[in-house]
Amino acid sequence: MARLTPSIKTLSFLFLIFPPLFGICQDSLSTHYKIFNTKTQKATSLDEIVRDINKADVLFFGEEHNDSTGHQLEYILLKKIAEHYPGKTALSMEMFETDCQTVLNEYLAGLIRDKNFETDARVWPNYDDYRPLIEFSKENKLPVISANAPARYTNMVNRLGLSSLQQLDATGKSYLPPLPIDTATGPYLEKFDQIMGGHSAMPGMQMYQAQNLWDATMGWSIAKFIKTHHDYKILQINGGFHSEEKLGAAAQLLHYDPKIRIINIAVYSDDSFTNPDWSKFNKMGDYIILTDPKLPRTF
């Protein structure tokens, strides 16, 4: 099995981003997070998750966007998956939008400069949190999927509703799943309604429709990739709400291809990381990762 290693450039990025935490990582990062298999409610490891991917096609990693420990674990997990499944590993990310796929591909191929990539790909303000994943993928020639809907279209739906997408031309529609977009009801709507403060906070339900466009585009992007990349193992990175309980983007993925096998991880910064409150976490994922809230956040 080929051994994949990060380049000097990649490591320099990592030490730049996490100078205090990489000291912890070398010594005792494991004392600042715990991984649990929710079925057994017992502690486990990233290696067990990687082995478990034998039975799956897509691993959803539901992060808190500013969790420094979570970002380190994403990088370690991607590296382990790539080592375990050489030539059959891909990364998919909420943090890049479908109309930026060409720009991302050009950067991964070494054709354009980092400066142009960051500008034209419209990277998130906390892109340094994700840079190690992109640099590792570049060095090891891993495909990266720009999975998210263009923000201009989610904004349009938030203002005008899902039906407004029908007014887009063929190019605009090519960045989105086939219309109309399915809007999930039941538990997902109930969760969304709860965090948004009730239906009164969502006039016309456009906000929820925009959420569904977001989820559907991520699910569709992954399903489209799998059609031409059989037997790949895909690590999908997104905010936790998008894949908790295998709802959101995970459910939309199964809508586009019911045969796809999914495992999901839900990550939380929580004081109970050594002794979980299972009434809170039991249904959130196949695995939960609880991280030490005392460690610095990335923003």
The CATH number of the domain holding residue 62 is: 3.40.50.11550
3-state secondary structure of 293: coil
pLDDT tens for 60-73 read: 999 999 999 999 99
Q: Would 179 be classed as within a structural domain?
A: yes
Average pLDDT of the chain, as a whole number = 90
pLDDT at 29: 79
pLDDT at 12: 38
Rg (C-alpha) for the chain, rounded Å, is 19
Q: Which among 101, 124, 78, 86 is positioned nearest to 237, based on CA atoms?
A: 78
pLDDT tens for 109-142 read: 999 999 999 999 999 999 999 999 999 999 999 9
Q: Would 5 be classed as within a structural domain?
A: no
pLDDT tens for 136-150 read: 999 999 999 999 999
pLDDT above 50 (res 17): no
Q: Would 230 be classed as within a structural domain?
A: yes
pLDDT tens for 196-241 read: 876 545 566 899 999 999 999 999 999 999 999 999 999 999 999 9
pLDDT at 19: 40
Q: Would 127 be classed as within a structural domain?
A: yes
- Report DSSP state, residue 286: S
Q: How far apart are CA 129 and CA 177, in angstroms?
A: 28
Domain that holds residue 169: 32-291
pLDDT above 50 (res 104): yes
Q: Would 21 be classed as within a structural domain?
A: no
Q: Would 1 be classed as within a structural domain?
A: no
CB 212 within 8 A of CB 181: yes
N-term to C-term CA, the chain: 38
Q: How confident is the model over 22-46, as a mean pLDDT?
A: 81
pLDDT above 90 (res 99): yes
pLDDT at 28: 66
Q: Would 123 be classed as within a structural domain?
A: yes
pLDDT at 23: 40
**In the sheet where 89-97 sits, what is the strand order?**
42-44, 33-37, 287-291, 262-269, 58-63, 233-239, 89-97, 144-148
Number of Cβ within a 10 Å radius of residue 26 = 8
Number of structural domains, the chain? 1
pLDDT above 90 (res 2): no
Q: Would 24 be classed as within a structural domain?
A: no
Reported pTM: 0.89
pLDDT above 60 (res 14): no
